[in-house]
Amino acid sequence: NIISTMTTKQLTKIENYVKKATINVDSQHGYPHLLRTKNTATQIVNLLKLNSKIDINLQQAACLLHDIHHIKYKPSFLNWLRESKLLHQVLPPVLEQFNLNESDRYILSEAVYKHTFSFPFRLLNKKYPLYAQIVQDADTLDFLSEIRILDLKKNKNKSRFYRFLSLISGLAKYGQKNIKTRLNIPEIIDHLIQN
């Protein structure tokens, strides 16, 4: 296990940066989505008692930065397919300003780059560290949440891509029913239901 040394001060700097940087990012990928993803990831870590295996500051930072490419690139079908490539362009210069050590930068970057395509493609991160698994699962849970589906319907006229997604939003109901097949840590659903 690589030991993280991310401080609360560094996490706060990242959170403040993300809050400002995403002010003009649409609500599907803006700060409220990033905050829900961060909170869900923290809930996963706490419910599964993973605190000894995860640096919570680093986990939260990865959640806050997982859609950072949207500060530069608008939502589109092509950009969705190229999401990891776009993140490889945008994330490294963003991370420069936070004075992270090499291992924290590596863990955080890997978790951000690997968060895509659990739904609908079921490309999971089971072979990757917990950080990548948890960011992907927290993002998937938010993607399939009622709040996100309602927000998509409300904003469907903001882009052709969202209009297309709203037409197939019925797939989200399928995803909700089969959520365990879209998660790296499917047992989290049982814990979430209990709580």
Neighbours of 157 (CB within 10 A): 9
pTM of the model: 0.91
Cβ atoms of 100 and 75 closer than 8 Å = no
**In the chain, how many H helices and how many E strands?**
11, 0
Does position 195 have pLDDT exceeding 70, yes or no? no
Residue-wise pLDDT for 94-109, tens only, equals 999 999 999 999 999 9
CA distance 34 to 71: 13
Does position 149 have pLDDT exceeding 80, yes or no? no
pLDDT band of 63, cuts 50, 70, 90: very high
- Report the pLDDT value the prediction gives residue 119, as an integer from 0 to 100: 79
- Region of 99 (left: φ > 0; alpha: ψ -120 to 50; beta: rest) is left
Packing angle of the helix pair 102-113, 130-143 (nearest 10 deg): 40
CA distance 179 to 141: 8
pLDDT band of 170, cuts 50, 70, 90: low
- pLDDT mean over 145-163: 77
Averaged confidence pLDDT in the chain: 90
- pLDDT mean over 159-185: 77
- Report the pLDDT value the prediction gives residue 174, as an integer from 0 to 100: 65
Specify which of 60-69, 114-123, 136-145 reaches the highest per-range mean pLDDT.
60-69
- Report the pLDDT value the prediction gives residue 3, as an integer from 0 to 100: 61
- Report the pLDDT value the prediction gives residue 118, as an integer from 0 to 100: 87
The values of phi and psi at residue 193, to 5°, are -65, -40
Dihedral of alpha carbons 67, 72, 76, 78, sign: negative
Residue-wise pLDDT for 13-54, tens only, equals 999 999 999 999 988 899 999 999 999 999 999 999 999 999
